[in-house]
Structure 1
Amino acid sequence: MTEADIKTKLTAIFRDVFDDDSIVLRDDMTADDIPEWDSMSHVTLVVATEQTFGIKFRTAEIEEMHDVGDFVRLIGAKVEGKAA
């Protein structure tokens, strides 16, 4: 799965969680860029992402994510590892 494929699916998740079809993800996007992105919506994003991609994140991995680019790369590594 390419980063573009991941971003497409992740964009749909963000738009659903925040109920905002205008969201366009950027690698440098953080919670500061979406006013509704708080700790509760972050948990919702993580759970929805795990369900969509069929992966699980460890707490330490979640804590190391600083922006959408980190999120995309972590998803890619998890999906690739799952396929191996």
Structure 2
Amino acid sequence: MEQSRAAILETIQGIVESVLGVPGVAMTEDTTAQDVDGWDSLTHVQIIVAIEQHYNIRFSFSEVAQLENAGSLIDAVLRHTGG
């Protein structure tokens, strides 16, 4: 089942809120880790792992290294889920 970019962004936002323990994180496709309080290198790994688990996918190290913002993360999810 193909998901919309908005639905994936909403899922990612929920995961970020859960990992950081902060409700109401405002995210757009342009949001970067630097834009979100508490999103550091350790929580970044936790967020990526949670996204992988949610979608039952596995990102390569180079994919993770190339992520620039939430939009590029959505692109990576879509590549792995056939979207």
55, 66, 77: which is aligned to 1:64?
66
12, 15, 18: which is aligned to 1:16?
18
Give the conservation status (yes or no) of the 8 Å contact 1:17–1:45: yes
What root-mean-square deviation, in Å, do the aligned CA atoms of Structure 1 and Structure 2 show?
Answer: 1.2
Give the conservation status (yes or no) of the 8 Å contact 2:9–2:29: no
TM-score (norm 1): 0.89
| Correspondence for 1:46 | 48
User: When you count helix as a share of all residues, which structure comes out higher?
Assistant: 1
Q: Distance in 2 between matches of 1:63 and 1:18?
A: 21
Q: What is the number of equivalent residue pairs in this alignment? A: 81
Alpha-carbon offset, residue 35 of structure 1: 2.5
How much identity, in percent, do the aligned residues show?
27
TM-score (norm 2): 0.90
